């Protein structure tokens, strides 16, 4: 039997059922309730003249009352779900903003440089003992943002990877040796200055090159990551050996110490990031949105602090000469990577994109690693001046190219 009732009447129905005699038909869960309109003049969907179908008194009644309550809120001009939707949208907006923090990195680098030159105390608190953990954090960020799929896709282009590796550890060290020798022989600068220029040329590629490639040619960002990761992973052996070969006759080089330091600063943090991403993906996803902001702040300190701490040497009479030599070194590296790639991949459909990518790889070095090694393994503080200047010059030149190439690149690429 069906009992016809309205939503308001059912509010009083259950308490009264217990007092009714047995002869009165009591509702059971298996029976149904037919809803009649409360007010046929209402515009609500629940109170429209149209007859609403049968609804079970079990789970369906809950749904019915949710709809009824929602309808009443709507009649009063209220939206009970609006607050939660707004909160969700605001949270999503904050996360997206955090993820896009890297987009202001070029401006942060420039601002850090100007601030360090105008007011050195703003960065002098960030002493050399913080360089190694700061660089380790950047390496951890690279690891947690990488996965095996990126590497598998990029390894389908071994020729480009090999050319990028040769640019990192053959062309670049030769250029560094030339400019380091010119610093001592032609410009009569102290030997540690020449050693610092050579040290910059012996380190692995900078992670900023990956971001520069992403801004210019997103499709080749995984390839850039593989090239940088490969040069970074092998830096544990290649950088100390190149330093011994090119600097060893001028200054003593602690090869074993460099190997141990690079393992701690580069390999271990990247491995930790990869493992965290693989074994604890939920934790990685929770951390990842905050990494761009922290990386930008980290980079700002790593750019401003070396200048602030070496402000007297940078502003000395030979500071302009070091700036000129370091700038010419990076410019030569950018151009070498660009034109060498053009000659090798001239017939490739994405030749221009490859030229830009390998230009970034060859021209942008991990100057922070060179600075950390110079601070830890060379007694003369002058060795750290070229890496400190290189950190700024390399970043500004790289992102200047990003702006130029982003505006001029071919639409098809």
What confidence score (pLDDT) does residue 323 get? 92
> Residue 91 pLDDT > 50, yes or no?
no
At 106-158, the pLDDT tens digits run 788 888 889 998 999 999 999 878 877 887 888 788 778 777 676 677 788 88
> Residue 295 pLDDT > 70, yes or no?
yes
The answer for residues whose C-beta is within 8 angstroms of residue 78's C-beta and 6 or more apart is: none
What confidence score (pLDDT) does residue 375 get? 81
> Residue 198 pLDDT > 90, yes or no?
yes
> Residue 27 pLDDT > 70, yes or no?
no
Average pLDDT over residues 344-364: 91
pLDDT band at 100 (very low <50, low <70, confident <90, very high): low
Q: Residues of 132-155 as b/e, b for ≥16 C-beta within 10 angstroms?
A: bebbbbbbbbbbbbbeeebeeebe
> Residue 257 pLDDT > 80, yes or no?
no
């Amino acid at each position: 039997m069906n009992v016809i009732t309205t939503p308001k009447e059912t509010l009083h129905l259950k308490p009264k059922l217990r007092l009714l005699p047995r002869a009165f038909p009591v509702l059971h869960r298996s029976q149904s309730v037919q809803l009649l309109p409360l007010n046929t003049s209402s515009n609500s969907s629940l109170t429209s003249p149209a007859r609403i179908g049968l609804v079970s008194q079990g789970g369906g009644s809950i749904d019915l009352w949710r709809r009824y309550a929602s309808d009443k809120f709507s009649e009063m001009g209220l939206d009970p779900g609006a607050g939660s939707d707004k909160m969700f949208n605001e949270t999503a907006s904050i996360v997206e903003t955090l993820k896009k923090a890297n987009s202001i990195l070029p401006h942060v680098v420039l601002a850090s440089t100007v601030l360090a030159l105008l007011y050195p105390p703003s960065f002098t608190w960030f002493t050399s003992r913080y360089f190694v953990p700061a660089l380790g954090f950047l390496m951890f960020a690279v690891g947690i943002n990488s996965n095996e799929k990126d590497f598998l896709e990029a390894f389908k282009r071994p020729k480009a990877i090999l050319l990028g590796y040769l640019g990192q550890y053959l062309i670049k060290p030769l250029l560094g040796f030339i400019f380091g020798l010119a610093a001592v022989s032609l410009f009569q600068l102290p030997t540690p200055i020449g050693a610092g220029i050579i040290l910059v040329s012996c380190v692995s590629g900078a992670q900023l090159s990956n971001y520069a490639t992403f801004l210019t040619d997103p499709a080749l960002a995984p390839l850039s990551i593989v090239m940088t990761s490969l040069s970074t992973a092998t830096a544990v052996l290649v950088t100390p050996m190149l330093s011994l070969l090119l600097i060893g006759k001028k200054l003593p080089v602690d090869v074993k110490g460099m190997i141990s330091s690079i393992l701690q600063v580069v390999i271990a943090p990247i491995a930790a990031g990869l493992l965290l991403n693989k074994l604890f993906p939920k934790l990685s996803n929770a951390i990842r949105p905050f990494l761009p902001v922290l990386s930008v702040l980290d980079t700002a300190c790593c750019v401003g602090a070396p200048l602030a701490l070496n402000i007297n040497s940078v502003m000395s009479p030979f500071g302009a000469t070091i700036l000129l030599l370091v700038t010419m070194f990076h410019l030569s590296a950018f151009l070498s990577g660009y034109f060498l790639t053009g000659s090798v991949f001239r017939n490739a459909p994405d030749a221009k994109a490859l030229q830009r990518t390998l230009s970034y790889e060859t021209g942008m070095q991990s100057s922070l690693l060179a600075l950390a090694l110079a601070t830890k393994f060379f007694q003369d503080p002058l060795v750290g001046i070229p890496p400190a200047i290189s950190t700024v010059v390399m970043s500004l030149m790289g992102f200047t190219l990003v702006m130029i190439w982003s505006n001029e690149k071919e639409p098809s690429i």
